A and B are shown apart, each in its own frame.
Chain A
Amino acid sequence: MNGFSVLLQKEWREHTRNFKMLWMPLVFIIFGILEPVTNHFLPEIMKSIGNMPEEAEFLWPEFTGEEIFMSLLGQYQSIGILVIILAFMGTISGERKNGTATLLYVRPMSFLSYFLGKWIVVNGIVLGSVWLGFMAAWYYIEILFNRVDAGAIFAFVATYSVWLVFVVTVVLALSAWLPTGGAAGLAILITLVYQFIDSLIGTYWTVSPWKLSMYASYWFEPDSELSNLWMSLGLTVILIVILIVFGVFLSKWNASKTTV
């Protein structure tokens, strides 16, 4: 793999110096903290700023720590994924358009190294951010709610991580294929819109990468049947490999479109 370590280092430097390495974890950590804190203090918050009549009495549901984890996952599934798409949609197409890719493509590097260098660093940032977000949430859940089994949390986040790797691979493969705008649009369609479609008509099938976020919650329910989860994980890994091959091929195929 010609130039793999050099390209990996280049990606690392890029994301360090454009501060994605800093702001992306911060975004996910803030969400991770806000979810348990706002849920715990919601009655007080509503009392003080809700503008409700004084005699009004509401029965607030008693959330468990596991439910807060699932609620946070819901936030990550919408806003989190949108942040990931917007942050990385131009990873390959942007370099082609602004011409910076030209001086890489004219060197004897392999496009596998080129794509994998980006894939590893972007996944590192996304997974690192999401794990930190869940860890921050875990800390506050322990303080404000109840103790949640550590093994279940790790299995829950690990399952969700496979879905996120799938999302990142979709975004990068589309960026290798299309101009930045098209890549973003299609990535939103595939990851966010399809998620909604899957929730509406997805009862007809049980094995799908889009169901992984739902299956991740099974780890909090000890009696859950996990066969669909394992099959969905297997299918997602296969799709990730196919998308990587697709991304490498399209990076090479579209190399001639770089601005000279």
Chain B
Amino acid sequence: MTPLLQVDNLTKKYGSIHALDTVSFELEEHTATALIGPNGAGKTTALSMLSGLVSPTGGSIQFQGGVKQDIRSIIGFLPQYPKFFPWLSALEFTEMAARLSGVETRQTTIEAKKTLEFVGLGEVMNKKTGTFSGGMKQRLGLAQAIIHKPKLLLLDEPVSALDPVGRRQVMELLKELQRKTTILYSTHILNDAEEMTDQLLFLRQGKLVEHGSLDEVRARYAEPRIVIEFEGIQELQRFTEVTKWQVTSKGLIVSIDVRLEKAEMSSVLSVLTAGKFLVRRVEWQTASLEDIFMKVAVI
């Protein structure tokens, strides 16, 4: 099946600096992909190029197998801090966005109202955008990005500027949109990436350093281990004397690398029960996305 978007060796240079360096990836239809990386990794540059705002220095971007069309007609774009004309109402702005994106003139008001209701701005659609809070602006940004039902939605840090309540609400909207369109969004909030993603793309200094589904990436970096916290140091020492597994210890905590030692939770529990060890907790631990992020995206 032809992917919706195929990016090959995408490169952007500003003088001698590579903002993006030979990045390649594909997006399948109706998937959500998270572009992850620290500040300055090239996330916004990548999205700006995909949205047609910035021309690449090298490489290619192909939509639907390279069918020639204006990229801007099939994408919806939400910048990190969307800016609106403060003298327009939310409805007027969304209508303008709809008409500029090719929505039939007769349909613009109906579609704009429907979209503003969807993003939760139905009550304030006639208010000037200059009076909007950050959360309202983000919702309006989302409304203008989806008004023409784009095939690909590009979102630059869609929730990073929001408070926890606003974040949750916008995330719910995005999850609903995920069923209708393809989403590529940048984030450094890793909970969001875990919550809504089919594919992860890790950028570091303009390079794509890791990619794959959440499970695939986890499998590569997870380092699963069983962690036991003992009641006292004597208990810990007694355990290290009798155990057949190679362990690492720190304070009252012992850690067993599951992959190296072929240990299973059930056998560990059996040993602890048989030896009547006094323990505070026994836990299966795996690397969080944050741990993986620190390994992959941060030097």
**CB closest chain-B residue, reference A253:** B55
Report if B182 contacts A (CB, 8 A). Answer: no
**CB closest chain-A residue, reference B141:** A103
| Bound Cα distance from A102 to B144, whole angstroms | 12
Instruction: Report if A106-B75 is in contact (Cβ < 8 Å); known contacts: A3-B100, A260-B44, A260-B156.
Output: yes
Binary per-residue interface labels of chain A (229-260) against chain B in the complex, 1 for a CB within 8 Å, 0 otherwise: 00000000000000000000000000110111
Residue total for B at the interface (Cβ-Cβ under 8 A): 31
Instruction: Report if A108-B87 is in contact (Cβ < 8 Å); known contacts: A103-B97, A260-B44, A260-B79.
Output: no
| Bound Cα distance from A183 to B51, whole angstroms | 28
Report if B63 contacts A (CB, 8 A). Answer: no
Instruction: Report if A107-B100 is in contact (Cβ < 8 Å); known contacts: A13-B88, A102-B83.
Output: yes
A21 → chain B, closest Cβ, in Å? 12
A115 → chain B, closest Cβ, in Å? 15
Tell whether, in the assembled complex, residue B102 and residue A99 are in contact, meaning their CB atoms are under 8 Å apart: no
Tell whether, in the assembled complex, residue B87 and residue A14 are in contact, meaning their CB atoms are under 8 Å apart: yes
A30 → chain B, closest Cβ, in Å? 25
B9 → chain A, closest Cβ, in Å? 20
Residues of B within 8 A of A255 (CB): 53
**CB closest chain-B residue, reference A3:** B100
Binary per-residue interface labels of chain B (182-210) against chain A in the complex, 1 for a CB within 8 Å, 0 otherwise: 00000000000000000000000000000
Tell whether, in the assembled complex, residue A256 and residue B88 are in contact, meaning their CB atoms are under 8 Å apart: no
Main secondary structure of the interface of B (DSSP, over half): loop
Binary per-residue interface labels of chain B (212-241) against chain A in the complex, 1 for a CB within 8 Å, 0 otherwise: 000000000000000000000000000000
| Bound Cα distance from A106 to B144, whole angstroms | 11
| Bound Cα distance from A107 to B81, whole angstroms | 17
Report if A45 contacts B (CB, 8 A). Answer: no
Count contacts between A and B, CB distance < 8 Å: 72
Report if A152 contacts B (CB, 8 A). Answer: no
Tell whether, in the assembled complex, residue A6 and residue B83 are in contact, meaning their CB atoms are under 8 Å apart: no
Report if A71 contacts B (CB, 8 A). Answer: no
Tell me the B69-95 residues at the A interface (CB within 8 Å): 70, 72-73, 75, 77, 79-85, 87-88, 92
B235 → chain A, closest Cβ, in Å? 57
Tell me the A84-111 residues at the B interface (CB within 8 Å): 98-100, 102-109
B116 → chain A, closest Cβ, in Å? 15
| Bound Cα distance from A14 to B129, whole angstroms | 13
| Bound Cα distance from A7 to B102, whole angstroms | 13
Contact residue among A3, A18, A103, A259 (Cβ-Cβ distance under 8 Å from B144): A103
Contact residue among A9, A98, A107, A256 (Cβ-Cβ distance under 8 Å from B72): A107
| Bound Cα distance from A10 to B83, whole angstroms | 15
Report if B48 contacts A (CB, 8 A). Answer: yes
Residues of B whose CB lies within 8 Å of any CB of A are 44, 48, 51-55, 70, 72-73, 75, 77, 79-85, 87-88, 92, 96-97, 99-102, 141, 144, 156
Q: Which 5 A-B pairs have the closest CB atoms?
A: A99-B83, A17-B87, A107-B100, A106-B77, A108-B73
Residues of A whose CB lies within 8 Å of any CB of B are 2-3, 6-7, 9-10, 13-14, 17-18, 98-100, 102-109, 255-256, 258-260
**Could you jot down 11 A-B contacts, CB within 8 Å?**
A10-B88, A13-B87, A13-B92, A100-B84, A103-B83, A105-B52, A106-B77, A108-B100, A108-B101, A109-B100, A256-B54
